[in-house]
Amino acid sequence: MSVFAVEFKVRDYECDMQGIVNNGVYFNYLEHARHEFLLEKGIDFAELARQNINLVVVRSELDYKASLTSGDQFTVTVAFEPVSKVRFGFRQQVIRQADQKVVLEGLIIGTAINERGRPAIPEQFAAQLGA
């Protein structure tokens, strides 16, 4: 299984009153990394939507293991994982660069919704994800 990675830096406004990244902000980090992963695979999220194929998250499992603070540099990894005929998963980690500490581990499960509102993963899409 190949692992894709994107580098980030915590911005001040992403932190809460405790001085750590707000738990909800991690969803944004993970989503951005998934979109970059899709682009790397030749899949344009916005173009799929124009074709009435909408990628949606149906389940998120996040395990918070440590905290990021303002200015921390970190990497978000993405690894594709087939789940079923109509669902796919992304195993993700947030890793602080200074000490290589895993800050978060997650599994995001998604599907593609076709123009009729039904789960359906196009064959080409599935082939690109697994490549």
The pLDDT profile of the chain, 131 residues, written as one tens digit per residue, is: 579 999 999 999 999 999 999 999 999 999 999 999 999 999 988 888 898 889 999 999 999 999 999 999 999 999 999 999 999 999 999 999 999 999 999 999 999 998 888 998 877 777 787 76
Please state, in angstroms and as integers, the Cα–Cα distance from residue 76 to each residue in 25, 54, 57, following that order: 13, 23, 18
Is 16 a residue of the active site? yes
| pTM, to two decimals | 0.92
User: Which residue among 12, 16, 63, 72 is the active-site one?
Assistant: 16
SS3 content of the chain, % helix, strand, coil (to 5): 25, 40, 35
Total Cβ atoms within 10 A of residue 58: 13
Question: What CATH code is carried by the domain that includes residue 115?
Answer: 3.10.129.10
Residue 27, domain extent = 4-129
- Write the pLDDT tens digit of every residue in 72-90: 999 999 999 999 999 999 9
**Number of domains, the chain:** 1
